[in-house]
Each structure stands twice: as C-alpha cells, then as structure tokens.
Chain A
C-alpha cells in the first residue's frame, strides 16, 4: 500500500458542485510527486484536501496506513509551503520557525537546537532575529521551508512555492529544494502550473485537467509521450495539423496532410484505419525550416520572425494553419524558406477531436 492514498475523493468549496470528482491518487514514501495543470484545474483543491482544510464529501484520505479523512488540519502533522510564503509578519525568523515546535510542547533547549539546525540547513543561520519584512523573497521562502520541515512532518505539501520569485532565484531554489528532498527523504507533493519546474523536480508527475487526472508518469514519459491532446498541448506540443490516414504499416502511419505524405510513429492508437481523420502534434523546436525536398516536408510561407538570441522563432503559414517553429543555433533571419520538416518520431498522432 502506498504511503499517501486518496480514494474516490469528492471535494470542493461549494456543496453540491465538487471540484474533484471520484479522484484517486497514491504517493510512495520519499517520493516527490508533482500535480501539474492550469489554474483552476483542481490541483490546489487536491492539496487542501490532503492538508485537511477541505473535508472530502466522499472518499478517503490515508497517510501511512492511517485514515485521515475526518482528522482536522491541525492534528495531521503535515508541512505546508505557500506561494505567498505566509510567514507570521510580527514574529522574528526564529519565532516563525519555532512556532510549530512550541505547539508540540517541545522544551526550550531542544527548540533552540532544532531551529538552529534547520536554519543552517537552508543557509539562514545568521538571520534568527530578522523580521520577515527585512528578508528578500528567496530568503522568506527558505524560512517558510524551514518552518514546515522543523516539525518533521509525515508529508510536505508545496503550493506553487516558487511562483513569486524571479527567474534566476527560481532556478536556484529549485536546485535547493531538490537537494533538501534527497537529503531528508521527505515525501513531497508539489503543486505547480510550470512544466519545467515539474519536469526538473519530480520523480512522478500527475497532469490534472478539470478535476480529473489526464496522465500519470515519470517526467520523461510525460514530456515525450503525452497520452492525451490536453497533455500534449500543455507540454508544449503547440502545433497541430489535420490529416487523413492513407495507410498503416507496422508501427508507422502515413497521413495525408494537404496533399503531402507525412510519416509518423504510432504509439498506442489501435483500430486506426485508412480514411480516418487524425491530428498531428509537434513541438516548435522539433521542426526545422528547409529548402530542399526530403521526407516529411510541407510547403510553408514565413509570416514573421522573432530574434531570441540563441534561437529564432518563426511564425509560418501552412495551408490554413498557423505554425510555430523555433530554430536553435546561428541562422540568417533574412533567409527565406520553402518547406517545413518534422521528423516522424517527433509527431504525436491523436484521433480527431479527443483521445
């Protein structure tokens, strides 16, 4: 049995219209699991249900084999880290971190030692007397992290913890979180809408859309083999082409796209037959613009381009669809192109209108 187990949860903010409907997931001990999805998809609701701030109307929440479904949030021993840091503004860094230990009636000397240890762990050992208002965003989030791990929680829940930080700090904190997680072996559930964050931190990712799970998998699988059109679009397969199946050969499918033959590798769709309507998805940086005729090309017209330093982003028209192509490396932006080329193994095939 998994360490954290949600079974057939129905939960939400207004009675009668649940955000989560018959929602189940399991987390192994020591794992860092990400809940990934757009805002409003139910990932924060999931987190708040695990934390106990939302009582599930149906289903059960189990942690470490114990039933937590009806246990109030203050009796759950779960650490929480918020996007807004949520430090206690009137308390010093020391008192912020010590807050949870005091509630647990830990003696003074132990509090001193534990707070000092955890502040050292997040490299804030000389900040004990500071107030939150005297810290930078990154420092505040490290205090919040220290405050939630000092109580030695069974489970650490992080709700978009890096979203308020600037890009450079976000990368630093990501590395630090990853280091802490490996060092302490805490089971973590991490909510984010940022694919890069989820991909670089998690052992497994759950992609959520409108209260239901779209796909569960390792970062590699989610990134390379999205199981549904939603996951594909969310993971950056921004380009879509429509076509008709010409024939199927072993694991390959030949699709007619605007009169051109495009080859793609079939992953899973069974029962695909000649004449079926399909959609092909691919990433902007998996395609290239070329001038010579070769396999898997489509005629295009360049609309405009954006120079982006080490890459150039092109907007091209291919028949009626507008596509996005990113070419990395040194290219002459003025150069004109005739064709778009997508390798067969970079295309994802979905049946028209769903998956």
Chain B
C-alpha cells in the first residue's frame, strides 16, 4: 500500500504536539540545576525528594484527594438517576436538561468559579472545604451524566422490561440488572470526573481560602516564587499515577468505549 507522506508528517507533528510537553516535563525533572531547563544538565533525584518534604504539597494532596473522591461520588449518585431518567423517559423539558448536562464545556470554568464564590462564600459562611466539595460536585455532574448516559443508551431496554415482567420493581431491576451491566461506564465516569476534579484550577481558585488549597492551586502558588524542577517532579509523579489508573481500568473494563 502506498503511504501518503503528508499524512505521516501530520501524524508525527500531532504526536510531538501531544506527547512533547510530557517528555519535556519528565526529562527536566531529573536535572541537577536549581533552575528548570530543557534539555536538563546533569542527573539527580533530589527534586523528587523535595516534593515529599514540602508539607504544603502533602496537605493539599490530601485535600485534593478528599474533595475529588467525595465530589465524584456525589456526582455519580446524582448523575446516574439523571442519566437513567433522560435516557429512558420522554418528558417536557427533556431536551433542555440534556443540553445542560451534555455540554460541560459550554460555560467557562472561571465564570462558574466566580458565581460559586458569590453564591457560597459571600452569602453563607460554610467552611472552605465544604464550598470546594459542593463546587466540584457541580462541575463534575455533567461528566457523570454524559458518560453514564452513553452506556445506558447502548443497553437494550427490553432487558429491564424482562426483569420487571418477572416480578422486579423498577428500582430493583435497575440495581440487579442494569447497574451490573453498565459498571464499565460508571467506572469510566468515576475516573474521568475524579481526574477533572483533581486537575481543576479555575473553580478551585475562587473557592480556596486561607490555609485550605488544592494541589494544583498549591503548585501554582509555588511556581510564583520558585522555578526549580520540583514542580516538574511532582507533575511527573501525577502523570505516572494517572496513566497507571487509566491503563488498569481500560484493561479490566475497556472504559475507552464510553468516553
């Protein structure tokens, strides 16, 4: 088969564009100089050591993890029933709800963050961590609804009818027949939502306050003062963890078909 040279070139450019930044970050995290450089000079693991010794990174990592897990869990608990209702039933206003939930990228994060700031922090005096949790739940909901809807749409509605005709209530047939068969979609939604929460800056920026920050915010703050490869080392660790989680889920459940 004749290969088109232009296509191969485009493919290579795409790969450089997509993977290049990761390569630069990972390679420079091993440099020995105190200023981040590419290509790095020398070899050292001291920046990795530093990541684990900065207390603010440790505390904000736990905050990010806690907020991410709680917000993702809540977004799933709310999102699965919404997805089920939208996929299975016809009702007035359905297209509005679908539009609202199917385009998470329509409203800029900064706008959401700012309005949440006005809505939560100024109006009530709820703790910062609760504000973060509620704000993240709000931005994750569209992701869980969208991914779970996709897997529900691929599932034959007759299966549910069969369960009901055999004597199950609608709720029990959902739990015993539908949920086990869309678990791939649910896991995919979980991972996608968690990563979205864990990486989020625009919304968190408005909702963090004295003493409470998420990891990405803390990284941003750190970079305002220092330009050593510590951030590169931390980013490399996060990249490796993310790739590992996604890869495992893909192998076990084939989640890529849902996202």
Residues of A that sit less than 8 Å from B by CB: 13-14, 51, 53, 73-80, 82-84, 86-90, 99-100, 103-104, 144, 147-148, 151
Q: A13 to B157, alpha carbons, bound, how many Å? A: 15
B180 within 8 A of partner (CB): yes
How many A-B contacts if CB must be within 8 Å? 61
Are the CB atoms of A74 and B165 closer together than 8 Å?
Answer: yes
Are the CB atoms of A99 and B90 closer together than 8 Å?
Answer: no
Are the CB atoms of B90 and A79 closer together than 8 Å?
Answer: no
B44 within 8 A of partner (CB): no
Q: Which residue of A lies closest to B183 (CB)?
A: A90
Q: Which of B90, B163, B164, B169 contacts A88 (CB 8 A)?
A: B163
Q: Which of B163, B165, B169, B180 contacts A51 (CB 8 A)?
A: B165
19 pairs of residues in contact across A and B, judged by CB atoms under 8 Å: A53-B161, A53-B164, A73-B164, A74-B167, A75-B167, A80-B161, A80-B165, A84-B158, A86-B156, A86-B158, A86-B159, A88-B159, A88-B162, A88-B163, A90-B180, A90-B181, A100-B167, A148-B166, A151-B166
Q: A14 to B91, alpha carbons, bound, how many Å? A: 10
- Taking CB atoms, residues of chain B closer than 8 Å to A80 are 161-162, 165
Give the interface centre of B90, B162, B168 by most chain A CB atoms within 10 Å: B162
Are the CB atoms of B166 and A13 closer together than 8 Å?
Answer: no
Given known pairs A88-B177, A89-B181, A90-B180, the reply for A103 and B161 (CB within 8 Å) is no
- Taking CB atoms, residues of chain A closer than 8 Å to B161 are 51, 53, 73, 80, 82, 86
Q: Which residue of B lies closest to A82 (CB)?
A: B158
Q: In which size bucket is the chain B interface?
A: 10 to 19
Q: A100 to B225, alpha carbons, bound, how many Å? A: 66
Q: A103 to B158, alpha carbons, bound, how many Å? A: 18
Are the CB atoms of A104 and B167 closer together than 8 Å?
Answer: yes
- Taking CB atoms, residues of chain B closer than 8 Å to A148 are 165-166
Q: Which residue of A lies closest to B156 (CB)?
A: A84
B30 CB to nearest A CB, Å: 46
B244 CB to nearest A CB, Å: 27
Sample of 8 further A-B pairs with CB below 8 A, known A82-B161, A86-B156, A99-B163 = A74-B167, A76-B165, A80-B161, A86-B161, A88-B162, A88-B177, A99-B166, A103-B166
Q: Which residue of B lies closest to A90 (CB)?
A: B180
